[in-house]
Amino acid sequence: MDEKEYKIRISAETQYMNEQSFPEQERYVFAYTMTITNTGNMAATLLRRHWLITDANCNVQEVRGDGVIGEQPHLKPGESFEYTSAAILETPVGCMEGKYEMLAEDGIDFVASIPIFKLSTPNALH
Protein backbone atom coordinates (compact mmCIF):
# COMPACT_ATOMS: atom_id res chain seq x y z
CA MET A 1 0.00 0.00 0.00
CA ASP A 2 1.24 3.48 -0.82
CA GLU A 3 2.20 5.76 2.03
CA LYS A 4 -0.59 8.16 2.97
CA GLU A 5 0.01 11.77 1.99
CA TYR A 6 -1.87 14.67 3.57
CA LYS A 7 -1.04 17.61 1.32
CA ILE A 8 -3.02 20.73 0.58
CA ARG A 9 -1.82 23.49 -1.76
CA ILE A 10 -3.25 26.94 -1.09
CA SER A 11 -3.04 30.02 -3.28
CA ALA A 12 -4.48 33.50 -2.85
CA GLU A 13 -5.41 36.33 -5.19
CA THR A 14 -6.33 39.73 -3.80
CA GLN A 15 -8.18 42.75 -5.10
CA TYR A 16 -8.68 46.20 -3.61
CA MET A 17 -12.37 47.08 -3.51
CA ASN A 18 -12.28 50.80 -4.26
CA GLU A 19 -16.08 51.24 -4.35
CA GLN A 20 -16.46 49.77 -0.83
CA SER A 21 -13.47 51.60 0.66
CA PHE A 22 -13.44 55.00 2.35
CA PRO A 23 -9.82 56.04 2.94
CA GLU A 24 -10.90 59.27 4.65
CA GLN A 25 -12.57 57.03 7.28
CA GLU A 26 -9.59 54.64 7.42
CA ARG A 27 -11.61 51.86 5.77
CA TYR A 28 -9.86 49.79 3.12
CA VAL A 29 -11.71 46.74 1.80
CA PHE A 30 -9.88 43.87 0.11
CA ALA A 31 -11.39 40.83 -1.55
CA TYR A 32 -9.35 37.65 -1.49
CA THR A 33 -9.95 34.51 -3.51
CA MET A 34 -8.53 31.33 -2.05
CA THR A 35 -7.91 28.18 -4.06
CA ILE A 36 -7.48 25.05 -1.97
CA THR A 37 -6.21 21.95 -3.80
CA ASN A 38 -5.78 18.48 -2.39
CA THR A 39 -2.39 17.38 -3.76
CA GLY A 40 -2.13 14.38 -1.44
CA ASN A 41 -3.56 10.90 -1.92
CA MET A 42 -6.15 11.01 0.87
CA ALA A 43 -9.53 12.79 0.72
CA ALA A 44 -9.96 15.46 3.39
CA THR A 45 -12.55 17.89 4.75
CA LEU A 46 -11.81 21.48 5.75
CA LEU A 47 -13.21 21.77 9.28
CA ARG A 48 -12.02 25.16 10.56
CA ARG A 49 -10.14 28.31 9.56
CA HIS A 50 -7.81 30.52 11.57
CA TRP A 51 -6.66 33.87 10.16
CA LEU A 52 -4.26 36.54 11.36
CA ILE A 53 -4.93 39.80 9.50
CA THR A 54 -2.36 42.53 10.16
CA ASP A 55 -2.49 46.15 9.01
CA ALA A 56 0.39 48.61 8.58
CA ASN A 57 -0.09 49.86 12.16
CA CYS A 58 0.60 46.31 13.41
CA ASN A 59 -3.02 45.90 14.49
CA VAL A 60 -3.91 42.20 14.30
CA GLN A 61 -7.39 40.79 13.78
CA GLU A 62 -7.69 37.12 14.66
CA VAL A 63 -10.51 35.25 12.96
CA ARG A 64 -11.51 31.68 13.79
CA GLY A 65 -14.51 29.74 12.65
CA ASP A 66 -15.95 26.58 11.20
CA GLY A 67 -15.37 26.02 7.50
CA VAL A 68 -15.16 28.81 4.95
CA ILE A 69 -18.08 30.92 3.65
CA GLY A 70 -20.49 28.61 5.48
CA GLU A 71 -19.14 25.44 3.89
CA GLN A 72 -16.85 22.61 4.94
CA PRO A 73 -15.60 21.42 1.56
CA HIS A 74 -14.62 17.77 1.11
CA LEU A 75 -11.74 17.43 -1.34
CA LYS A 76 -10.80 14.17 -2.98
CA PRO A 77 -7.21 13.84 -4.25
CA GLY A 78 -6.74 16.28 -7.14
CA GLU A 79 -9.87 18.30 -6.38
CA SER A 80 -9.91 22.05 -5.71
CA PHE A 81 -12.28 24.40 -3.93
CA GLU A 82 -12.30 28.14 -4.57
CA TYR A 83 -14.04 30.86 -2.60
CA THR A 84 -13.94 34.62 -2.24
CA SER A 85 -14.24 36.58 0.98
CA ALA A 86 -13.14 40.01 2.21
CA ALA A 87 -11.06 41.74 4.86
CA ILE A 88 -11.32 45.33 6.09
CA LEU A 89 -8.21 47.20 7.21
CA GLU A 90 -7.61 50.66 8.66
CA THR A 91 -4.52 51.12 6.47
CA PRO A 92 -3.89 50.83 2.69
CA VAL A 93 -1.41 47.99 3.21
CA GLY A 94 -1.54 44.80 5.26
CA CYS A 95 -1.16 41.07 5.12
CA MET A 96 -2.94 37.83 5.95
CA GLU A 97 -1.80 34.38 6.95
CA GLY A 98 -3.32 31.44 8.72
CA LYS A 99 -4.26 27.82 8.58
CA TYR A 100 -7.03 25.43 7.69
CA GLU A 101 -7.69 22.56 10.07
CA MET A 102 -8.36 19.48 8.00
CA LEU A 103 -9.71 15.98 8.69
CA ALA A 104 -8.56 13.19 6.39
CA GLU A 105 -11.02 10.42 5.53
CA ASP A 106 -8.93 7.98 7.62
CA GLY A 107 -9.63 10.07 10.76
CA ILE A 108 -6.28 11.87 10.92
CA ASP A 109 -6.37 15.61 11.74
CA PHE A 110 -3.80 17.79 10.00
CA VAL A 111 -3.10 21.45 9.38
CA ALA A 112 -2.79 23.14 5.99
CA SER A 113 -0.78 26.35 6.45
CA ILE A 114 -1.86 29.40 4.48
CA PRO A 115 1.25 31.26 3.30
CA ILE A 116 1.36 34.97 4.10
CA PHE A 117 0.02 37.23 1.36
CA LYS A 118 -0.13 41.00 0.98
CA LEU A 119 -3.12 43.28 0.84
CA SER A 120 -2.43 46.66 -0.74
CA THR A 121 -4.14 49.44 -2.60
CA PRO A 122 -2.95 50.09 -6.16
CA ASN A 123 0.44 51.86 -6.20
CA ALA A 124 0.88 51.53 -2.42
CA LEU A 125 3.72 49.07 -2.92
CA HIS A 126 6.20 49.40 -5.77
| pLDDT per position as a tens digit, 27-82 | 999 999 999 999 999 999 999 999 999 999 999 999 999 999 999 999 999 999 99
Q: Report d(CA 67, CA 103) in Å as an integer.
A: 12
CA dihedral over 38, 31, 124, 55, signed as positive or negative:
negative
Q: Report d(CA 58, CA 60) in Å as an integer.
A: 6
Residue 1 has pLDDT above 70, yes or no: no
Mean pLDDT of 97-113: 97
Q: Report d(CA 17, CA 5) in Å as an integer.
A: 38
Q: Where are the domains of the chain?
A: 8-120
CA dihedral over 26, 60, 85, 117, signed as positive or negative:
positive
Superfamily name with CATH number, domain 8-120: ApaG domain (2.60.40.1470)
Q: Please state the pTM of the whole predicted model.
A: 0.93
